[in-house]
Amino acid sequence: MPRFPEAPKSLLIHAANRSNNQPSTRPTDDELRTARRAQVGREELEGPHPSMLGADPSDAGLAHADPAPDPSQPGPGQRWSTWRSVAKGQRGPEPLPDWLVTRDAAFDTELGILKTGKEADAFLIERAVPAGAPSEDTPSGGAERCLLVAKRYRSLEHGQFHRGTEYTEGRRTRRTRDQRAMEDRKSAWGRAVSATQWADAEFVALRGLWSAGAPVPYPVQIDGTEVLMEFVGTEVTDDMGGVQAVAAPRLTRERPSHDLLESYWEQLTHGMSVLARLGFAHGDLSPYNILADGERLVIIDLPQVVDLVANPFASDVLLRDCRTVCAWFTARGLDVDADALFADLLGQAL
């Protein structure tokens, strides 16, 4: 049965007066306006009568309701893919891997943080094409979804990496104006250039190493202080049917068999040799900066790559890398020689 609005108190009072045979007065215009305002306020608070459900929203006074989210537009925590918004030189080397999504219609969705570091934080990003998006020709294999890592470098004021001079000595920028600005840390432009120096160094190193066949993540693109790269890991399905991304563990956590340990050693020395032949040392190589993706090793964290020719500290840095990784393999039962590895790498570099 339809529910009617409650009558205004002023009208109830006058009705009671008439029932007692007392003289009644007609409500004034002000009282009627007040009653109408009270009635509208109650309707807005209580919502439409159940009899109105399923009717045209405009009939129930609900035409002003918020529209449903548009699936063709990025939502909270999303952005349009930035692949085409950066210059060609800021993208990864060709040929592009088949798994990479390069379509303009793709969304980048931030899924959470993977790691916090001294100079940057790493976030997990899903780049995917939403359902119903128009098809288009792309130079990649036509992938619709991929997982990426967004490594975002902090400004100099918020970074905690204090050994910068040891790594950047002899490093040059592509523009002399930027080089002069970096030497003047007091200027705003100098601080801005220095803040992007680590991101640029890592992206350039990854491009060269990937093209040369080193075991590193594929560098997707760079945009300011953000470097997008391949996610190294797997996706697993839980008991509820949900899919979860699991990053590959760091080498320091692994206890491989002897055969796998020998394979890891061959992969690692190959990667260090590629670095040396390109004229670089990793600079901070340790089991914490090497991922064990099943039977594959992947070297990560390369912003501090050291120029083996121009940097006067290069020999010391390379020897430290050799001793650090050799100590881990020796502790696991593999007979390796840090000094011999150092001499071999230095010979390949020179």
Residues 135 and 241 placed together within one structural domain of the fold: yes
Q: Percent of the chain having pLDDT more than 90?
A: 55
Q: How far apart are CA 217 and CA 201, in angstroms?
A: 15
Residue 117, pLDDT score:
83
pLDDT at 111 over 60: yes
Residues 212 and 314 placed together within one structural domain of the fold: no
Query: HEC string of 124-168?
Result: EEEEECCCCCCCCCCCCCCCCEEEEEEEEECCCCCCCCCCHHHHH
Residue that wins the pLDDT comparison between 68 and 87: 87
> Both ends of the chain: CA-CA distance in Å?
94
CB of 83 closer than 8 Å to CB of 221: yes
Residues 301 and 223 placed together within one structural domain of the fold: no
pLDDT in tens, 2-58: 443 444 444 433 434 444 455 555 666 666 666 655 555 444 444 454 444 454 555
pLDDT at 226 over 90: yes
Q: Which helix (H) or strand (E) holds 349?
A: helix 338-349
Q: Across the chain, how many H-helices and E-strands are there? A: 8, 12
Query: What contacts 205, CB < 8 A, 6 or more positions away?
Result: 280, 302, 303, 305
pLDDT in tens, 70-86: 766 888 889 999 998 99
**Is 346 within the bounds of a domain?**
yes
**Is 182 within the bounds of a domain?**
no
Residue 150, pLDDT score:
97
Q: What angle do CA 316, 322, 324 make, to 5 degrees?
A: 100
pLDDT in tens, 304-331: 999 999 999 999 999 999 999 999 999 9
**Is 233 within the bounds of a domain?**
yes
Closest CA to 350 of 267, 266, 271, 281: 281
The strand pairing partners of 236, in sequence order, are: 244
Least confident stretch, 5-14, 31-40, 141-150, 219-228: 5-14
Q: What is the count of structural domains for the chain?
A: 2
Closest CA to 115 of 231, 193, 224: 231
Q: How far apart are CA 252 and CA 124, in angstroms?
A: 22
Residues 135 and 215 placed together within one structural domain of the fold: yes
CATH number, domain of 91, equals: 3.30.200.20
- Quick check: pTM over 0.75? no
Tokens 């004021």 map to which residue? Answer: 157
Residues in the chain: 350
pLDDT at 272 over 70: yes
Residue 150 domain boundaries: 73-165+197-247
State the pLDDT confidence band at 196, using cuts at 50, 70 and 90: confident
Residues 125 and 210 placed together within one structural domain of the fold: yes
